[in-house]
Amino acid sequence: MKDARLYLLHIAEGIARIERYAAVGGGRLDRDGMAYDAILRNLQTVSEATQRLPDEIKARHPAIPWERIAGFRNILVHGYLGGIDPSVVEPVRWWRT
């Protein structure tokens, strides 16, 4: 298993990229297909990294919706054939609620 700090770094970098890419379309993901694809990819990376964090770290941060993040990862990974509805992704700050 990788050091948890590496996963935390992946999460922080992914969130920063998502915020930058979301700004391209003024927060509207349907305005720029490349930015939307980049956001989806980074959301997948962030959600994958959160699943690899040790339970002790997750327990110290109960306000973070770990199960929702894992569930969203499943939508991203398994829902791509039917397309991912931008309205599901629009609240791009889901990790901060």
What is the 3 state secondary structure string of the chain? CCCHHHHHHHHHHHHHHHHHHHHHCCCCHHHCHHHHHHHHHHHHHHHHHHHCCCHHHHHCCCCCCHHHHHHHHHHHHHCHHHCCCHHHHCCCCHHHC
What's the pLDDT score for residue 25? 67
Q: What is the mean pLDDT of residues 10-39?
A: 83
Q: How many domains does the chain have?
A: 1
**For the segment 36-45, what is each residue's pLDDT rounded down to a tens digit?**
888 889 999 9
**For the segment 48-89, what is each residue's pLDDT rounded down to a tens digit?**
999 999 999 999 999 999 988 888 888 888 876 667 777 666
Q: Does residue 60 have an active-site annotation?
A: no
Catalytic residue among 61, 78, 93, 96: 78
Catalytic residue among 10, 73, 93, 96: 73
Query: Does pLDDT of 1 surpass 70?
Result: no
What's the pLDDT score for residue 75? 82
Per-residue confidence at 94, pLDDT binned at 50, 70, 90? very low
pTM to 2 decimal places: 0.78
Domain hosting 49: range is 4-96
Q: Does residue 10 have an active-site annotation?
A: no
